[in-house]
Amino acid sequence: MDSQQAKRVLALYRADVADPNDTLMAEALEQIQRDPELAAWFERQSATNQAIRAKLKAIPVPAGLQRRILENQSTRSRLIPFPRLALVGLAAAAAVALTFFIWQTVQTEPTGTFDRLVDNFARRLQRPPVYFPQMEFVSTNQLELRAWFQTKGVSTNYVLPGALEKLAGEGAAVVPWQNHKVCSLCLTNVATGSEVWAFVADNANFPKAPIPGKKPELKRVLKMMTASWSAGDKVYLIVAAANEETMLDYLH
């Protein structure tokens, strides 16, 4: 199943009524883990569905509605008075307008921005059970990881902070994002046994990327702390299960 097929299947996904035996839906959900762009779309789609359902559930049910429906069913020839019909039409129109407004609000967020990548990658690192990203090359030596990136045709002129350069490597991968390539390094803090993820990409590929020369921007995403900045022609993202103080130590 490719991403376009998965998108058509996932358009019907509802978490509270999902069938655990639906193999087609399960396959589509697995495709999310392999395609960051599809994952970003699915998050927006799910948020839209939840917002619409919440708004519709908040609409109060008129007293005696069930009785009136049953009465209308028992007398098929009975005409619905115009005022009531008008209210039904207005309610339907309001629901359509609400759907359109929420959809437009979600869709106006630029999907290719670096902020979207930061949020998406940090969340995916915390989403079980699939490990993200899947390591394509494994080594404890960062020089070997850099050499492997060269074989994949991606730029390796990145410069990590000294504290990160001293960490042991675990593995590397090239992650696709919005038709661009992102270098991913998994590093290990041997002293604490914790993992630190470093993502590097070309600055020019991301609208609203951090301005070169500015201090790294720290942001918490659920249980992860992120740090992002630009230097030269590269933009960097560090993700770790750490507090702000520990993250700052990694950036020295």
Domain extents for the chain? 3-107, 114-250
Per-residue pLDDT, 30: 84
pLDDT in tens, 58-89: 787 777 666 677 666 555 545 455 455 454 55
- Measured between alpha carbons, how far is 225 from 244 in angstroms, rounded to an integer? 7
Per-residue pLDDT, 100: 44
Per-residue pLDDT, 181: 92
Residue 32 C-beta-side C-alpha neighbours within 13 Å: 29
- The parts of the chain modelled with pLDDT lower than 50 are 77, 79, 82, 85, 87, 96-111
Per-residue pLDDT, 146: 95
Per-residue pLDDT, 23: 72
Give the ranges where the chain is alpha helix by DSSP (H). 3-10, 23-34, 36-57, 65-74, 82-107, 114-124, 142-151, 162-165, 244-250
- Measured between alpha carbons, how far is 131 from 124 in angstroms, rounded to an integer? 8
